[in-house]
Amino acid sequence: MKKVALTTLGCKLNQYETEAIASGLVKRGWQRVEFTQTADLYVIDTCTVTQQADYSSRQAIYQAHRRSQTAKIVVTGCYAQIAREQLQTLPGVGLVLGSDYKDRLPDLIEEWYDGHELILNGIAFQEQEDFRASGNSGHTRAFVKIQNGCQEWCSFCVIPMTRGQERSRPAPWIIEEINSLAEQGFKEVVITGVHIGKYLWENLKLADLLNMILDETEVARIRLSSIKPKEVSPRLVDLIASEPRFCRHLHLPLQSGHDSILSRMKRQYSLEEFDRMVHSFAERIPGVTLGTDVIVGFPGETEEEFLSSCQYIENSPLNFLHVFSYSDRPNTAASKMSDKVAPPTINRRSAVLRELGNKKWQAFLDTIPGRILPVLVENRREKQKNLLTGLADNYIRVNLEGPDSLMNQIIPVSIIRREARLLIGESQSV
């Protein structure tokens, strides 16, 4: 049996699509093995959101080639979409297909691997009903794609070039997929896409889709991925706040805490609009985890603007930060801006903001001991003390003692204390 190994760089959407590619190949007779093992075929799903992502994608290619110099390598994803010719020159790479034909990749790989000439007829960036992840049996939660594409053209971002126009998957596909995952034993699904808040299919918006998921599926927990201020309606806030099946965890990308930077980034919201959204969730959902992305060192960012951004974040309800050091992306408006911030300054500011994020997260965790959290216990143990480990509904990592029978179960856990960036608890299940 032919063996295939896959790896993913980047976002949750990429992770979903890699699983969908794997599912399609397994259905066609391939045996899936770990990326660290020898295989006949390696599939690398790349990311290009930063220069570091490009580098990591290339390193994955080199690793696959070193592992088996006779294996064939397929490169797909966002980096492959904009750097096809460059990637084709790397050792072992036989096929480079970007995001435009990713949904057809299992069929295309089969044709190419068997020596047939590929004819890329058909519409690029077209969602396929059978391109879906069957779920990784080693996991307790699964990603579900509801939307793809972007046409906002933020000045720093390549996603509109790599993922095409906005498009939404039909609601019946999504409902069927979630029901299938629930039947396989998954307790949580993560709703993902480039802009899930822009979901629109036959007049159904995101809140309508979420109501359908509540009514027509029995999955125990539903988690939403990133969503922007303009995409949040009072109806959506009410729905998430009132339904216990929704996880108390939201990712709300800020990018900068200063209006002048947001304007130069071409973000379609002001700091006031973002702040209003964050407070609406914080006030309506006690104990909610509010995460965000921040880009440090955007062209022209002054020390005053950076410090103002830090001050906003420090005083906001945000409690979890992903800090990104700005890097030029090809053919973006920001890459052509002349007033670049020096790398040492970017590094210093990034360190300051990461430290702020660490302090805010630990301060948030310090409010939890003494409470009981619903924790989805994962199908593994943490390595240091061999404890069970899982995620609370508000996305906090919790370690606890207990038998393997608690794995893949949602159980009440009494929180005892914080240890660094996670919590230690005791099972309250009978």
343-365 tens-digit pLDDT: 999 999 999 999 999 999 999 99
What is the reported pLDDT for 140? Answer: 87
In DSSP terms, 167 is beta-bridged to 148
Q: Confidence band (pLDDT; 50, 70, 90) for 138?
A: low
Q: Confidence band (pLDDT; 50, 70, 90) for 124?
A: confident
8 Å CB contact between 127 and 148: yes
68-92 tens-digit pLDDT: 999 999 999 999 999 999 999 999 9
What is the reported pLDDT for 120? Answer: 81
Domains by residue range for the chain, with CATH: 3-113 (3.40.50.12160), 135-247 (3.30.750.210), 252-365 (3.30.750.200), 372-427 (2.40.50)
Q: Confidence band (pLDDT; 50, 70, 90) for 97?
A: very high
Q: Which of 80, 28, 50 is nearest to 61 (CA)?
A: 80
Q: Given a cut of 70, is residue 289 above it in pLDDT?
A: yes
Mean pLDDT of the region 145-160? 95
Q: Confidence band (pLDDT; 50, 70, 90) for 19?
A: very high
Q: Which of 270, 83, 63 is nearest to 161 (CA)?
A: 83
Q: Confidence band (pLDDT; 50, 70, 90) for 137?
A: low
Q: Given a cut of 70, is residue 382 above it in pLDDT?
A: yes
What is the reported pLDDT for 380? Answer: 94
Mean pLDDT of the region 110-122? 85
8 Å CB contact between 376 and 140: yes
What is the reported pLDDT for 136? Answer: 60
388-404 tens-digit pLDDT: 999 999 999 999 999 99
**Three-state SS across 299-363?**
CCCCHHHHHHHHHHHHHCCCCEEEEEECCCCCCCCHHHCCCCCCHHHHHHHHHHHHHHHHHHHHH
What gap in Å lies between CA 99 and CA 47, rounded to an integer?
A: 10
Joined tokens for residue 108:
């295309």
Q: Given a cut of 60, is residue 213 above it in pLDDT?
A: yes
8 Å CB contact between 61 and 69: no
Q: Given a cut of 80, is residue 122 above it in pLDDT?
A: no
Give me the phi and psi of 426, to 5 degrees please: -125, 135
Residues 6+ apart with CB under 8 A from 272: none
Q: Given a cut of 80, is residue 430 above it in pLDDT?
A: no
What gap in Å lies between CA 103 and CA 132, rounded to an integer?
A: 9
Q: Which of 93-97, 98-102, 300-304 has the lowest mean pLDDT?
A: 98-102
Mean pLDDT of the region 18-45? 95
Q: Given a cut of 90, is residue 133 above it in pLDDT?
A: no
What is the reported pLDDT for 316? Answer: 97
What gap in Å lies between CA 189 and CA 179, rounded to an integer?
A: 10
252-276 tens-digit pLDDT: 999 999 999 999 999 999 999 999 9
Q: Which of 297, 326, 291, 319 is nearest to 309 (CA)?
A: 297
